[in-house]
């Protein structure tokens, strides 16, 4: 096969794969097909419903070494941060007691985006299908300026 043929085939294959990558054809099932969840219309836990004492006991049988793997990150400017997000800590002296003990104090001021900084666990309110969250909960019914009324991470 000549060099021109190989290059031409490579270009055709790459062009075809780029088109495929750009066009996401999967569509989620309609609300009527996916809701209510198999755990009922009021469920806020999803697959977390599988976490029960007997499941934990079965899982302990898989432990071989006892090694502990830390999944959390200490919050610092050196932690993994996505994109242009920032994590800044500013310390300030806030008080110096003029009395004989001269006790002082310091405070920290943190400026950061809360999401996508350090360790994060996404809950059911992180993604939507149209205006529906998990179990077809309507976004407008549960979203407030300061958070969500349902489907909180405390349910995991």
Q: How is the chain split into domains, by residue range?
A: 29-60+118-156, 76-114
What pLDDT was estimated at residue 5?
52
What pLDDT was estimated at residue 148?
93
Residue 87: both structure tokens together: 């994590």
Residue 79: both structure tokens together: 């932690």
Q: Per-residue pLDDT for 142 more than 80?
A: yes
Range name among 30-34, 51-55, 76-80, 114-118 with the lowest pLDDT average:
114-118
9 vs 41, residue with greater confidence = 41
What pLDDT was estimated at residue 26?
86
Find, among 66, 57, 75, 152, the residue nearest to 114 by Cα.
Answer: 75
Q: Per-residue pLDDT for 83 more than 60?
A: yes
Token match 């992180």: residue? 126
Find, among 155, 151, 156, 145, the residue nearest to 124 by Cα.
Answer: 151
What pLDDT was estimated at residue 14?
56
Residue 154: both structure tokens together: 């405390």
Beta-carbon neighbour count of residue 83 at 10 Å? 7
What pLDDT was estimated at residue 52?
94
**96 contact partners, CB below 8 Å, separation of at least 6:** 102, 104
Range name among 6-20, 40-54, 123-137 with the lowest pLDDT average:
6-20
78 vs 118, residue with greater confidence = 78
CA distances from residue 66 to 1, 96, 143 in whole angstroms, order as listed:
56, 47, 42
Give the mean pLDDT of 122-150: 93
What pLDDT was estimated at residue 11?
55
Q: What is the dihedral of CA 117, 122, 126, 128, to 10 degrees?
A: 140
Q: Per-residue pLDDT for 66 more than 60?
A: yes
22 vs 96, residue with greater confidence = 96
Give the mean pLDDT of 44-72: 93
Q: Per-residue pLDDT for 25 more than 70?
A: yes
């Amino acid at each position: 096969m000549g060099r021109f043929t190989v290059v031409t085939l490579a270009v055709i294959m790459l062009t075809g794969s780029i088109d495929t990558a750009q066009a996401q054809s999967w569509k989620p099932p309609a609300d009527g097909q996916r809701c209510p969840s198999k755990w009922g219309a009021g469920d806020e836990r999803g697959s977390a419903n599988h976490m029960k004492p007997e499941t934990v006991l079965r899982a302990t049988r898989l432990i071989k070494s006892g090694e502990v793997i830390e999944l959390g990150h200490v919050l610092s400017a050196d932690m993994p941060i996505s994109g242009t997000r920032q994590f800044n800590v500013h310390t300030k002296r806030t008080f110096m007691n003029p009395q004989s003990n001269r006790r002082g104090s310091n405070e920290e001021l943190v400026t950061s985006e809360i999401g996508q900084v350090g360790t994060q666990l996404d809950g059911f309110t992180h993604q939507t299908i149209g205006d529906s969250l998990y179990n077809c909960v309507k976004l407008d019914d549960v979203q407030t300026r300061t958070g969500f009324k349902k489907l909180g991470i405390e349910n995991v």
